Structure 1
Amino acid sequence: MKRITYQAIIVSLLLSAPVAANDDTQACLNALFATGDDSLTLAEMREMCKPETLIEEEVAKIERAAPEGAPLEMGSISRRIIGERQAERNPYVLTPHKMNYILPVMSTNGINTDAYSSFEGYEENLADVEAKFQLSLKVPLYDKSLFIEGDGLYLGFTLEAWWQIYSENLSKPFRETNYQPEVFYIAPLEWHPFGGNTGFVVGIEHQSNGRGTLLSRSWNRVYGHLLFEKDAFALSIKPWVRLSEDEKEFEFDPDGDDNPDIEDFMGNFELGMVYQWENLEFTFGGRRNFSTKNGAAELGITFPLWGKLRGYAVAFNGYGESLIDYNHKQTRFGIGVTLNNTL
């Protein structure tokens, strides 16, 4: 019997009704006002008409309508997609792409001074402890399905910044800032290994640090994702191909390739895993170049703090924690807060 999945049905349901979330809520409130129990309070009516409550009601309807014996399962990726599709209808809501966090304390076992050796008086004053933050958002470029029911086309932008706020003899500069715009397409697959759900992503991205001369770093990539989810576990396999650039004709050529060996250290493949256990989320990310044996690994955990804020602790080892450090190996630990989980 054909599996009924949230990607194929629930996401399709959300995309097929181009009505603002506020309109859905207002319609629900109007219906309760006209036909609801007289004992309902205003707070109860608001709770019953919250967008997430309406989604759960639609899910329940589909579960009741599903043929007997047809499995209906939803994993962590599907839950995030459903929530985002609902939020996208609200023009006042920005949708997270990757994690949005600030790490007031991030240490390293060896700051990269070699990259700044041409700037006298700079490298020796860099502190091994700095702050880091990341801002990552996305917007849909189309509000209906393009090729597959439940697919989507997005524009994403991620900014990472490393702030030398603890340096003693410098004016607290931003040591490095990375900018990453991308366009990507995501869609579900009718393939359900191990009782889970799958999907894929294809995209193109540019990443650079916006610097000039000897500090300039950048590259362009075409990438793909294979996504797998089952219950509270999600897996991503992401290979990429770097788009080639012309060689520099001279050392300070602004048009040449700033880092022709970047794949030797940053790799050409990334494995990502996420597991949610009660109120905790565990993440793993690993990059690898199988020819040079270089890469990196990162472990993270988020945990509840207060309100919408969550604690975030991360450990990193390897190359490429930032673009300026693409060929610098180090071990880093950070602690701070995040506004959203990976899933």
Structure 2
Amino acid sequence: MLKLFIPLISLSCFFAMSYSYAQSFETLLDRCLIKTIKKTDKNKTLQQIEDFCEKKIVKEQLGSEELGAISERMIKEKKSAFDPYVITPHKMNYILPVTITDGINKEAYAGYSNWEDELRDVETKFQLSIKVPLTTGSFLNSGDQLFFGFTLESWWQLYTHKISRPFRETNYQPEIFYFTPTSWHPFKTNTAMMIGFEHQSNGRSMLLSRSWNRVYANFLFEKNNLAVSFRTWYRIPEGSQATTIDKIGDDNPDINEYMGYFELSTVYKWNNKYEASMKLRESFAHHHGAIELGITFPLWGKLKGYAQYFNGYGESLIDYNHRQQRLGIGFALTDIL
């Protein structure tokens, strides 16, 4: 069974792919700039013309007359992909120096460590997530792209000096996914679809190990500053035998009972200063669900604050069958949109 799969991508390949990917967009942009400058009002600035061309290219790829929050992010990513020193975010990047839970999961560590009784309900949580384009230009459809993504999420017992402040749990999630706009525009929305494979593991061994492999489909909708995502998945079976002290098997055979088979997410952005998000999961057969609420807000300069609330099962892999509430406050390194 795959415990921890982290593909190694050399810097030279990363720079080459980013450069090639950006070149395709830059070529379209250059053509549009030349054509537009010849025809446009001479009072317009070069920045206004460039903004017009960037949006025009994405509109053509989407087959849409209006752009939403996801489309605006696509434009930013295509521009930054030309810079080899820019790493493109995938999911949200944040650090919450202080989070408080109403019940730390001590039971999971009982008998496997000497510090479960010292665990505190106050800890630090952070997430780092990046992606790299693996194809240049259009792949199967106009505006589509194949990506490699990697997300690391960690829960750090920073305030437990008696046990040397360990990282209680860290989840690693590499994935390969295909993104494509669609020609479906209900109620003047833009839509897109993602299909991918992901592995998620906490990198631990034996009875503390948690992992699973999934294939998923993600349907995206955008309307102005609102984005909605409906993500469903199928877990790749790992056999019927659970992991024991003597034998390696399935680390968490009942994980679907708690994590369910789908996740509904919404994000709304307003005034380019605030961003509110919500995630919902539900296992209807067993009535095990979860909700996560988040909001970003300006602090000073480009620094943004971030508050997060979680209630339910499966905040982390080690806690997949443990229900808790958690409230955290900290900083957003990148927004969702």
TM-score by structure 1 length?
A: 0.82
Kindly provide the amino acid, as one letter, of the partner of residue 304 in structure 2: R
Partner of 1:212: 205
Match of 1:144 among 108, 118, 137: 137
Match of 1:183 among 172, 176, 180: 176
Q: Per the alignment, in what secondary structure is the counterpart of residue 117 of structure 2?
A: helix
Deviation track 1:296-319 (CA, whole Å, cap 9, x = no partner) reads 000000011223321100000000
Report the Cα distance in structure 2 between the residues aligned to 1:110 and 1:265, rounded to whole angstroms. Answer: 18
Match of 1:311 among 305, 316, 320: 305
Kindly provide the amino acid, as one letter, of the partner of residue 244 in structure 2: E
Q: Is the 8 A contact 2:242 2:251 kept in 1?
A: no
Deviation track 1:130-165 (CA, whole Å, cap 9, x = no partner) reads 001110000000111111100000000000111001
Q: Is the 8 A contact 1:304 1:311 kept in 2?
A: yes
Partner of 1:3: none
Q: Is the 8 A contact 2:22 2:82 kept in 1?
A: no
Report the Cα distance in structure 2 between the residues aligned to 1:189 and 1:56, rounded to whole angstroms. Answer: 23
Report the Cα distance in structure 2 between the residues aligned to 1:239 and 1:161, rounded to whole angstroms. Answer: 24
State the shift of 1:82 in Å.
1.2
State the shift of 1:292 in Å.
0.8
Q: Is the 8 A contact 2:23 2:82 kept in 1?
A: no
Report the Cα distance in structure 1 between the residues aligned to 2:150 and 2:192, rounded to whole angstroms. Answer: 21
State the shift of 1:263 in Å.
0.8
State the shift of 1:214 in Å.
1.2
Partner of 1:18: 24
Q: Against the structure 1 CA distance between its residues 294 and 147, is the aligned structure 2 distance closer, same or farther, given a 3 Å change threshold?
A: same
Q: Is the 8 A contact 1:308 1:339 kept in 2?
A: no
Farther-moved stretch of structure 1 (110-119 vs 244-253): 244-253
Kindly provide the amino acid, as one letter, of the partner of residue 308 in structure 2: V
1:124 aligns with 2:117: yes
Q: Percent identity?
A: 52
1:170 aligns with 2:176: no
Q: Against the structure 1 CA distance between its residues 215 and 16, is the aligned structure 2 distance closer, same or farther, given a 3 Å change threshold?
A: closer
Partner of 1:284: 278
Match of 1:323 among 299, 317, 321: 317
Q: Is the 8 A contact 1:220 1:242 kept in 2?
A: yes
Report the Cα distance in structure 2 between the residues aligned to 1:310 and 1:254, rounded to whole angstroms. Answer: 47
CA RMSD in angstroms comes to 2.8
Partner of 1:236: 229
Point out where structure 2 has 5 or more consecutive residues left out of the alignment: 1-19
Report the Cα distance in structure 1 between the residues aligned to 2:267 and 2:280, rounded to whole angstroms. Answer: 12
Partner of 1:299: 293
Partner of 1:154: 147
State the shift of 1:210 in Å.
0.1
Partner of 1:82: 75
Q: Against the structure 1 CA distance between its residues 301 and 249, is the aligned structure 2 distance closer, same or farther, given a 3 Å change threshold?
A: closer
Kindly provide the amino acid, as one letter, of the partner of residue 291 in structure 1: A
Q: Is the 8 A contact 2:242 2:252 kept in 1?
A: no
State the shift of 1:196 in Å.
0.9
Q: Against the structure 1 CA distance between its residues 19 and 286, is the aligned structure 2 distance closer, same or farther, given a 3 Å change threshold?
A: closer
Match of 2:264 among 259, 271, 278: 271
Q: Is the 8 A contact 1:221 1:240 kept in 2?
A: yes
Q: Per the alignment, in what secondary structure is the counterpart of residue 169 of structure 1?
A: helix
Q: Is the 8 A contact 1:226 1:237 kept in 2?
A: yes
Q: Against the structure 1 CA distance between its residues 146 and 127, is the aligned structure 2 distance closer, same or farther, given a 3 Å change threshold?
A: same
Report the Cα distance in structure 1 between the residues aligned to 2:248 and 2:50, rounded to whole angstroms. Answer: 51
1:193 aligns with 2:199: no
Deviation track 1:55-81 (CA, whole Å, cap 9, x = no partner) reads 413157779x99xxx972000000001
Q: Against the structure 1 CA distance between its residues 293 and 165, is the aligned structure 2 distance closer, same or farther, given a 3 Å change threshold?
A: same
Q: Is the 8 A contact 2:194 2:217 kept in 1?
A: yes
Kindly provide the amino acid, as one letter, of the partner of residue 190 in structure 1: S
Farther-moved stretch of structure 1 (238-247 vs 177-186): 238-247
In our comparison, the structure showing a higher alpha carbon Rg is 1
1:260 aligns with 2:253: yes
Q: Is the 8 A contact 1:157 1:180 kept in 2?
A: yes
Match of 1:58 among 34, 45, 53: 53
State the shift of 1:20 in Å.
6.1
Q: Per the alignment, in what secondary structure is the counterpart of residue 334 of structure 2?
A: coil
- Moved >3 Å (runs of 4+): 14-17, 59-63, 247-250
State the shift of 1:180 in Å.
0.1
Partner of 1:332: 326
Q: Is the 8 A contact 1:20 1:90 kept in 2?
A: no
Q: Is the 8 A contact 1:15 1:145 kept in 2?
A: no
Report the Cα distance in structure 2 between the residues aligned to 1:19 and 1:195, rounded to whole angstroms. Answer: 25
Report the Cα distance in structure 1 between the residues aligned to 2:141 and 2:211, rounded to whole angstroms. Answer: 33
Q: Per the alignment, in what secondary structure is the counterpart of residue 194 of structure 1?
A: helix
Report the Cα distance in structure 1 between the residues aligned to 2:259 and 2:265, rounded to whole angstroms. Answer: 15
